[in-house]
Structures are given as structure tokens and as C-alpha cells.
Structure 1
Amino acid sequence: MFKRIACIRIGGGEIARDAAEETPVAIFVNGRHLTTVILSPGGFQDFITGYLYTEEIIKSPDEIESVRIEENRISVLTKNPFRRGTVKKTILSGCGGAVSYIDTQKLPTIDSDLAVSIPEIEAAVAALSAPDPLDAVLLALDGRLVARFEDLDRHNALDRVIGRGLQDKLDFSRMVAASTGAITSEMVRKCLVAGIPVLVSTGTPTALAVEIADETGLCIVGSARTPEMAVYTHPERIVGCSGA
């Protein structure tokens, strides 16, 4: 994921430093170009499984007939060869085509009775560290790591862990997802599609992420590595939370 690059130190002298590699990858579904994404090298099978699932192009890995992975291209055939894919992103609605608000009624909601403890959250966050400038995302069950990936983009890393979980047939309704960086509305959407009930981050959530999570049943915990760790939505999912 890193390549040694020569550079000149401002104070003088030539040095070599590690630079993260990035790969533009074109995604084709049933022969049609879906999108092009920027990924850290490797792990494309996990990524494409999670990505197609969170974009709601497939409902399970069983719908994938074949995946052909080349250096800068991923070609997917589904069992329904006439299926057309579109990139969803956060669902918006408005009048006359103008974006005006988030229609949370079109988003999935969380159906899980999972409640996690602070020690479980701390154990998950302890496994999150990633070398700069990469982000890390993991899935944990009862405080135990079950999947972890790094990427230049934490949204891609989230797709990777979801893809790994799908292939391992994990029960997402019992899982905690933990991430470095800020929690965005798009990360919330991906967790909702997968049915992950708790999303933890070392950073803080955006206001829009909190709004969507609050209306759809997702618990958000932010600033998880600091004394300022806080529950932003659905504190009933956190054991011993005073707001529950």
C-alpha cells in the first residue's frame, strides 16, 4: 500500500518517505460501466462484494455469477444479466428535481436488540490504528475483531469489511462497526443497508449523519479514543449510558 518516494526536506537534504499508493478502478456490471473509484491496492473481491451490496445492486453475494479483477478494472456478471446498476449515495428528494432534504423513509431502518458495553467499544477502537494517510474500518463481535481493512477512503474501507462479512455470512445485526475519521451520512447509509446497529469512530459525526441515524435506529458513538467519547444517537444501545 506504500511506495518509497524521494523528496527534498525544506531544511535541506534529499530524503525518502513512504507514500500511499492509489489505484483508479473502473467497475463494470453486466458489461456496463457503473463508476470509477479510487482504491488502495488489493482486496478488490471484498470491496466489490460490499460495494454492490451497499449500493443495493445485489441483495446477497449469491447473486454474483462471476467477478473478473484486472489491474484497473473490475467486471461483474450477476445471475440476472439484464440488471442495471446505479450509484445510490445518500438518497435525496425534492420538488422539480431540486435537492431539498433527505427522505429517511426511503432508507432502511435498524432492527436489532443489540446493546454493547463501553469495554467492547474500547476493545474495538484499540484495533483501529492505521498509518497516515490511510483510514481503518473494522467489524467487531462482543469486542472481538472479525474483519478489518485500511483504505485511502474510509467509505471504501467500510465496503471492504461489509464485503468480507457477507462472504463469511456474518450476522450484521450483532456487529459493531468502528472507523477512524469523521462519520458521514454516506457511512450511515451503508450501515443501514447492511443492518449494522452501532457505528463508532475516533472522530465526530456530521450533523446530517446524526439526523439520519437518529431517525433510522442507528447508534453513533464519536471521539472514541478520547475522554470526550460521546453517544450521539440511540443511547439505549450502549450498556450503562446515563442517557439511556
Structure 2
Amino acid sequence: MIEEITVIRMTDGESSEAVEEVVEEMPLALYVNGRWVQTAMISPSMIKEFVIGHLFAEKVVKACDEIESIQIEENIAKVLLKDPLGIVNLKKVVLSGCGGGSSFLDESKLPRINTEFTIDWRMASESMSRVLGSEIHRRTRGVHSVGLFNKEGEIVIADDIGRHNALDKVIGYAIGENIDFKETFVGVTGRISSDMVLKCVAVEIPIILSKGAVTSLAVEIGKITGMTIIGFVSQHGMRIYTGRIS
């Protein structure tokens, strides 16, 4: 995840050679049923979790038994679905995230999240602090971090150069652990945009919070689906855009 490189550091007009830590980045070509789906620029960790989470969050699959196999070889991930036509009619939408990613999610077909799960302001603040405490984030300042939590505490935190990728990774991890998403929430280091909310809705995560801002379409989707969206979370306060906290 971290690589050391030699740089020229400038301080007060003076230059010197130094070693800096930078986050690694790699292309991952994703093939489903032999068809190229996309090439994602990701950080080289939790790759299988990313693939599984991406398939679920994009509604390519809805259950683990729809996946026949996943094969990862260096920069290529090959997924075989039991349904040979499972990827044929899906349409992509360009995302707002860095790198020009794409999504198969359809905003016109939004389900409601039916759960009574809530958190209080203290849990929101403490969880956000956990996400911001990621060592790789602290050392490089070059990744986004996403944490998945329940009322017992942290389930998993993932780091990636892309916030969408990091969210896919925690979703994929939780699926492997048979976690009930309706009793969880996520904290993210980046802004909450519509595509991040849609991924949560796809697996029925009812709450998303961030230290950063929220977009107007994210709020609109939150209202339609019953999702709780909280921005600008800190130790001193937060802004609740949709939903509620206890």
C-alpha cells in the first residue's frame, strides 16, 4: 500500500533530497463472464473484497450463490456468474468521483430502507474519529478511508485512492462475514455524493456520515430511500441532512 520514493523537498527557498511515502496505485481490469466491464484504479489491498463489494453495490449480483468463481491474477479480476446473461443489459453512468468511474445503478428504481436502526451523536463522532485515525491516511494523506460500524463498534476500515473503491471493499468484507447491513452504518473521509449513497442503498446500509460535505442529489436520494445522511462530523457537531439520530 505504501512505497518510498526520493523527492526534492523545497523549504524556504532551499532544496534538499528526501524520502517520502506515497500510496501505491494499480489498474485492475474487471471481467464478468468473459466481458470487460471496467478498469478501476485502486490501491493494492483487499482486492477480492473490492470485487465482491463492487458487484453487490452495483446490483450486478444480489446473492453470493450467483457467483460461480472469482479469479485474480496480478492486474486482472475474472468473475464467472452462474447466469451467463447477468451483465449483458446493464447500463453505465459516469460517476462524480476522481478518475471518471462508472456505475450500473439506476436512480429511477430506488428502494426504501426499512429499518429502525439509529445511532446517537456520540457514536457518530467517535466512529468518524476512528476512520480519520487510519495509519495509511495519516502517513500518506493520499487515500480515502471508509469504516463500517455497528452498535458494538468497528467492523472494518478500508483505505483506497478512491472513496468508492474503499466503500466497495468494506461492503465486500462484510458480505464475507455475513454481516446484517441493516444494523450498520458507514463513515467516510470524502464528500457524500449521490453515487456513495446509492451504493449504501443497494445493500441497505441505513446511515452514512462524513467529515466533509454532502451534495444535493445525495440529499434527494436520502429523502426518497429513508437513508440518514450526516455531514461535517466532528467532536463539536455535525449536520443532519436527512433522517435522524437518537
Which category describes the TM-score, using the shorter chain as reference length?
0.7 to 0.9
Please point out which of 191, 205, 216 is paired with 2:214: 205
Stretches (4+) displaced over 4 A:
87-91, 102-105
Aligned pair count? 227
- Where does the alignment leave 5 or more consecutive residues of structure 1 unmatched? 92-101, 240-244
Please point out which of 184, 190, 194 is paired with 1:181: 190
Residue of structure 2 equivalent to 1:36: 39
Show CA shifts across 1:195-216 (max 9, x none). 0111011111112211211222
Write the distance in 1 (CA, Å) between the matches of 2:106 and 2:47. Answer: 31
Q: 1:104: how far off?
A: 4.7
**SS class of match (1:80):** coil
Please point out which of 222, 230, 234 is paired with 2:239: 230
Residue of structure 2 equivalent to 1:166: 175
Write the distance in 2 (CA, Å) between the matches of 1:167 and 1:136. Answer: 20
**SS class of match (1:159):** helix
Q: 1:27: how far off?
A: 0.2
TM-score for both structures, normalised by structure 1: 0.87
Residue of structure 2 equivalent to 1:71: 74
Show CA shifts across 1:157-204 (max 9, x none). 001111111111111111111111111110010011010111011111
**Letter paired with 1:17:** E
TM-score for both structures, normalised by structure 2: 0.87
Does the aligned pair in 1 maintain the 2:125–2:235 contact within 8 Å?
no
Residue of structure 2 equivalent to 1:134: 143
| Pairing of 1:107-126 with structure 2 (within 5 A) | 107-126=110-129
| Pairing of 1:74-93 with structure 2 (within 5 A) | 74-84=77-87, 86=90, 88-89=92-93
- Aligned-pair identity in percent equals 35
Structure 1 residues 90 and 142, CA, compared in 2 at 3 Å: closer, same or farther?
farther
Q: 1:141: how far off?
A: 0.7
Does the aligned pair in 1 maintain the 2:131–2:189 contact within 8 Å?
yes
Write the distance in 1 (CA, Å) between the matches of 2:4 and 2:29. Answer: 26
- Where does the alignment leave 5 or more consecutive residues of structure 2 unmatched? 96-104
**SS class of match (2:186):** strand
Does the aligned pair in 2 maintain the 1:89–1:186 contact within 8 Å?
no
Write the distance in 2 (CA, Å) between the matches of 1:51 and 1:123. Answer: 27
